Each structure stands twice: as C-alpha cells, then as structure tokens.
Amino acid sequence: MSFPGHIAEAPSAGDTSAAPASGAAQARPHLFNHLTVDSYRRSLAAGIDRVASRIAGAERPFTGMSPARLAPEISGIDLDRPLEDPAAALDELEDVYLRDAVYFHHPRYLAHLNCPVVIPALLGEAVLTAVNSSLDTWDQSAGGTLIERRLIDWTAERIGLGPDADGIFTSGGTQSNFQALLLAREEALELAAKNAPTPLERHEILPRLRILTSEASHFSVQKSAKLLGLGRDAVIAVETGPERRMRPAALAREIERCRADDLVVMAVVATAGTTDFGSIDPLPKIADLCRWAGLWFHVDAAYGCGLLVSPTRRHLLDGIERADSVTVDYHKSFFQPVSSSAVLVRDRATLRHATYYADYLNPARMAEQRIPNQVDKSIQTTRRFDALKLWLTLRIMGADAIGSLFDEVVDRAAEAWALLTEDPRFEVVTKSQLSTVVFRYLPADQRGRDLADGANLHAREALAASGEAVVAGTKVDGRHYLKFTLLNPETSLDDIAHVLDLLAGHAGRYVDERLTAELLHRAG
C-alpha cells in the first residue's frame, strides 16, 4: 500500500461515511497519523469541551463523593467491551471521573500543594503528548532535548549555581530528591573510601551513612534513604525553632555527634518551603556549616521554587546558590500541570553517577561525539517532554507573570494568618513565609477543650463530604490541626472567611453533640 506523500492529500479520516481513498484510516481509525488528523482534531476538541463545561460549571471544588459509592461504578465497567464511539466514552467518563473529580482551579480548594494551571502550559501538554517525543535520546526528541537543556540552564541561572551547573527534568520532587541523594551517596562513598586508612568496601560504609534534615522536611527524604539502601536510622531529624526552621546550632551539634560516632554525613537536606509550614531553613548558615564540614548541601525547594521568579521575594531564597543540588517542582509554584519538576546540580560531573551506556540506546561513542542524550543524566529512560509546558509558559506569559501569581497567594496567606489571629474560634501556628496556614478550632469552654482533636478531624471530613471546600489536615506536637495551602490567586479573603465559618460550624456541632451525649449518659 502506498501512503500519500503529503498530509494535505490525506483523506478525511473521521468522516467514515465517505470511504477514504486508501482505506487505511477506516481500518485503523484510532491510530494517530496523517490519515486521521481530522478525527484527532474532533476527538480532542470534544474532550476539551467537556472539561471546559466542568470548569465553567463547578460550583464546588468537590462533590463529596466517597470511594465506597464510586468504586462499584468503576468496577462495573466491562473493559473488554469497548464503546468505540468517543462521545459515548466521554459520557461515561462524566460519571466515573469528571463529575466527582477534585477541581484545583476552584477558589475554595485550599488543601494540598496542587496549583491551578496556566493555559500556556496546557497548550504545551497537548502538543507534547501528541508529538510524543521521548527525551532519553537525541534521536527520539531532537529539539525537545535542546529546549529541556535550555530550561535547565535557565533555572540553574535563576538559582545562581554557576558555570558548571546542570540537571534534568524529573517526574516530581520525590524523584528529584531521590536523584540528588543518590548522587550525594555516591560522592560520599567515593570520598569515604578514599580517606579510609585501610581500603573500605561499599557495604562497609553504607550502614554508616547519615542524612541530616529538619524534623519538618518532606517524607521523600526517608523514602530515598530506604531506596538507597541506607540503614533504618540513616535520616537524623534536626531540631527546628518555633518558626519550624532548622536550627543551625542543632545542625552543628548533629554533625559533631556523627563525627564522634564515626558516622559519615552524606548530605544535609535543607527545605526551602516546608510542606506544612512554608518555612524556609536558614540557607546561608546551613551552607556555611556544610562548607566547614565538607558536606553535600541539598536544598529541597519543591514548594519554594516559585520565589525564583517572584518580583518581590527572591531574597527569601538567598543562600540557595551555594547548594550542591536543588529540587524544584514547577508543578507546585510555577502553575504547571503534573508532572513538571527538576533536579539541578552545581557540578555537572556528579551526574555521572546516573550514567550507563547501552549499545541499543546511547552507546558511549555518542557521548564522545557530544550527541546530547539526556538519558545519560536521568534515572528514567523513556521520559516525557514536560519541559515544553514551562517553555510555552515562559514564551507566552513570562517569568514575572508566574512570580506575580505566586506573590499573590503568599500575600493572601499572610492576610489569612492575620484574620485567624483575630478570630477567637481558632488558634493559629507560626506565620508562613510562603502560602500555608496551619490552625485549629478551639472549643470555647474547658470541657470542650478535650474534644479539640476530634472536632478538628471531624470538621475537615465534614467539610470535604459537603464539597463546599477542601482543606488539609496535619499534626503539630501530636495534635490535629487544619491547614490551608493557598495556590490559587482567585481565592479571596472572603472565600477564606467563609470556609472558616463552615469549619467552625462543623466543629462546634461536633463538640455540642458530644457534650450533650455525655450529659445524657450521666443523667442515665
């Protein structure tokens, strides 16, 4: 069979009533190619229409759907009986997904570090999935590789990592932290082996490796330690102050203690924006300590990276330029869709620890010929061209516009914090440097105080079940707290005040019911 040489000559594929000249589109109507571009256009436009209607019509961030109610609908679908018709599949999708999805664009979604996304990035997403470049090798991506490299350089420059910096896009902050710690481990093993009075094997050093990070850091540090084959006690939690920032004196103490115990500190992980408190560890002091002790300094800026483009708050990240490695999550504070993240390193040579050559993919001679194969730097092989979303965002909106959006939510969090400090119904924890607010409902009378934990847990669940708003929960010093993570500039202070009223209502009713039940019980 001969294919038409030019797309313009291709028969209209979606129009199945008119028999295509080649018959190929009819035989394989779902395969995306030069014969089916009309069907591609129509199919995606129909999908976009459904999403647009949902976005336009969402009165709440969530319907309150429970897993128990939704699970049977999904398990009842016969996956071995295709519907063939995209419209029918989209109808079904309305019921099993779109209707009850959690909508981050809604101004009363205040829970986790999920941002509303910008349209240039959605455009990028549509393009990148259709072209489907894989960024492992130049011969599967071409320009995509260079665009990704340019964005890595741009990010490294924003951080200030210097002329030898490099990095790679990853699936998220968890993977970025993991890769950074993998590099740190390998560097530490090499160094320890070199410095040992007698030759040491890897397995002799591994159990002695330690990672120092604050008690408010992200759990991916612990997960990484496990994946890296370190011991159970490998992660040492360094004490934080009342603002939930790592205490440099405590860090110095732990470094000394490790030395005294003949342990090897393989990395210090500072957090630039803790997930709960939005607190930024004192980066310059930590950098000083790392330099003094000769330690790998990793900065987890998964959340705080938005400050890199903030027109007013870039200084909050001062000291990050001294890191050996940095995690950034564009899908948190750059308003990018999942996934979009990167790990950056000060010295590109350290990326060699992720390098393997395979004859079938990236033979070593290609590196000698300077063919840019990104797989040489990545722990993934086949890899999405997520960088395109950020590229179009920068080319259409620009960095300042992104930074201004982030600034707005940081301002809003400060206003919400002020509102809460004035509100006798609630107690609020430390003021965030970013956009979280951690607080709890405080029952008015002493008898109710014992019920505070239950009341806060209940308020969060009842609010989510109502779908009126979604907030997060966390624990502080063993007690249950509520948390706002503000990432939507559309969220107004009125929205926040309204959600506080809803929470106080749910919590207050919980306390009243419990106290009444107790009274009745005692009255016998």
Ligand X SMILES: *Cc1c(COP(=O)(O)O)cnc(C)c1O
CB of 173 to ligand X, least distance (A): 2
Looking at the Cβ atoms of 177 and 374, the one nearer to ligand X is: 177
Q: Give the tokens for residue 303.
A: 């959340």
- Neighbour count for residue 186 (Cβ, 10 Å): 17
CB of 63 to ligand X, least distance (A): 24
Looking at the Cβ atoms of 137 and 275, the one nearer to ligand X is: 275
CB of 408 to ligand X, least distance (A): 19
Q: Tell me the H-state helices in 104-219.
A: 119-131, 143-159, 173-195, 202-205
Q: Give the tokens for residue 178.
A: 């993991």
CB of 379 to ligand X, least distance (A): 14
CB of 343 to ligand X, least distance (A): 11
Q: Give the tokens for residue 85.
A: 């018709």
- Grouping H, G, I as helix, E, B as strand and the rest as coil, residue 110 is strand
For residue 109, the cross-strand partners are 470
Whether 323 and 297 have beta carbons less than 8 Å apart is answered as yes
Whether 175 and 329 have beta carbons less than 8 Å apart is answered as no
Looking at the Cβ atoms of 441 and 481, the one nearer to ligand X is: 481
Using Cβ positions, the residue closest to ligand X within the complex turns out to be 173
Looking at the Cβ atoms of 174 and 491, the one nearer to ligand X is: 174
Q: Most distant CA pair in the chain: distance in Å?
A: 90
CB of 301 to ligand X, least distance (A): 8
Looking at the Cβ atoms of 342 and 500, the one nearer to ligand X is: 342
Looking at the Cβ atoms of 113 and 151, the one nearer to ligand X is: 113
Residues that bind ligand X (CB under 6 A): 113, 172-174, 177, 218, 220, 271, 273, 275, 300, 302-303, 329, 341
Looking at the Cβ atoms of 273 and 306, the one nearer to ligand X is: 273
Q: Give the tokens for residue 449.
A: 């105080």
Helix, strand, coil tally for the chain in percent (to 5): 50, 15, 35
Whether 211 and 235 have beta carbons less than 8 Å apart is answered as yes
d(CA 404, CA 311): 7
Tell me, letter by letter, the H, E, C secondary structure of 427-461: EECCCCCCCEEEEEECCCCHHHHCCHHHHHHHHHH
CB of 511 to ligand X, least distance (A): 32
Looking at the Cβ atoms of 332 and 440, the one nearer to ligand X is: 332
CB of 111 to ligand X, least distance (A): 13
d(CA 23, CA 439): 64
